[in-house]
Amino acid sequence: MESMHWANNLLMLLDQTLLPGKIYYKPCCDYHEVAEAIKCLRVRGAPAIGAAAAYGIVLAALSAGQATQKEYIKQVESAGRFLKATRPTAVNLAWAVDRMLGVMTQAGALGAEDLSRVLLEEAHKIHCEDVESNRRMGRYGQELVPDKAGILTHCNAGALATAGFGTALGVIRAACEAGKQVSVYADETRPLLQGARLTAWEMMQDNIPVTLITDNMAGYLMSKGKVDLVIVGADRITANGDVANKIGTYGVAVLAKEHGIPFYVAAPLSTIDLSLPDGGAIPIEEREQDEVTSFGGIQVAPAGVKVWNPAFDVTPHRLVTAIITERGVVRPDYLQNLRKLAFEQ
């Protein structure tokens, strides 16, 4: 299932708020619609929103096609700032926008039509590179997965969260392609149930055995010896190896440490932010209270109750067994080894 594709100068985004009940590709004809889709989680997952934002820049460029070159560049840069402001935690979003704006700057004195063509080619590259990096990540990561393993994952880090194949779920898919028999346990992932709605659905589409559990069952599941390893994705990884991921990941990591279970993070290099020293510097998005107080339009909490709704938490590097990237598996010391990996040619 594609999270997005480009057709007839439109970005077609799979509306993940409707899954698993309905498969619908929302056409986005300008960057404002892309930004709305990112903000409202129609498209979500760090690599996916990065790719979507790249196409959002293309849409901004196409709409500015009749402007002077100075005005054209001004409009596209403004669109970039607008897109980057939609979600602050996932670094892939800013990375993709900055890469697109950098290509525009390097293109120099090209006319509007040629600039738009160059930007579209770059967006396609970002999309294709993500799919290929996920597959390479999967090949490295599957070597860490024993045959007949029980794997716990949190939130959704599959094809839906990327341009294709997936990060954490990509490792699981690669293990299956290698002939290993695995079973997956998917945390439901409150408050928006990405594990229940998306991960369970993805695994069932691929005929990979999956069992859905509520978030507060993970510790007991581990105590019963049913979990051999945990694999999650990431929205940002700092220089020291601290990991920001969907809220609840930190709790899973603590439980894995207590039960002696390896805790792996699968993420592309574009998710690694060497400019931040540690997880305390990561901006954590806080979302609307009605995501917690209601579900499916039905109020499930007392009216007026105070709500705290951070979308992400930070898992300290000391709880992370290894980080799986498209260039290989990184183990501690992360401060040294992540930097070394990032600058490899």
pLDDT of residue 91: 95
Over the range 242-264, which residues count as b (16 or more CB within 10 Å of their CB) and which as e?
Answer: bbbbbbbbbbbbebbeebebbbb
Residues 6+ apart with CB under 8 A from 216: none
Domain(s) of CATH 3.40.50.10470: residues in the chain: 135-342
CATH superfamily of 4-133: translation initiation factor eif-2b, domain 1 (1.20.120.420)
For the annotated binding site for substrate, the residues are: 44-46, 87, 194, 245-246
Radius of gyration of the chain (CA): 20
pTM above 0.85, yes or no: yes
The candidate with the shortest Cα–Cα distance to 227, out of 304, 158, 148, is 148
pLDDT of residue 70: 87
Q: Distance of alpha carbon 292 from its chain centroid, rounded? A: 21
Sign of CA dihedral 85, 86, 89, 94: negative
Domain(s) of CATH 1.20.120.420: residues in the chain: 4-133
Residue 10 binned pLDDT confidence (cut-offs 50, 70, 90): very high
Q: In DSSP terms, which residues pair with 298 in a beta bridge? A: 295
Q: Does domain 135-342 have CATH number 3.40.470.10?
A: no
Residue 227 DSSP label: -
341 CB neighbour count, 10 Å cutoff = 18
167-226 confidence digits (pLDDT tens): 999 999 999 999 999 999 999 999 999 999 999 999 999 999 999 999 999 999 999 999
Catalytic residues: 235
Q: What is the mean pLDDT of residues 226-254?
A: 98
For the annotated binding site, the residues are: 44-46, 87, 194, 245-246
Tokens 């220089």 belong to residue: 239
Residues 6+ apart with CB under 8 A from 177: 138, 142
78 CB neighbour count, 10 Å cutoff = 13
291-316 confidence digits (pLDDT tens): 999 988 899 999 999 999 999 999 99
54-92 confidence digits (pLDDT tens): 999 999 999 987 778 889 999 999 999 999 999 999 999
CA angle 148, 47, 58 (to 5 degrees): 150
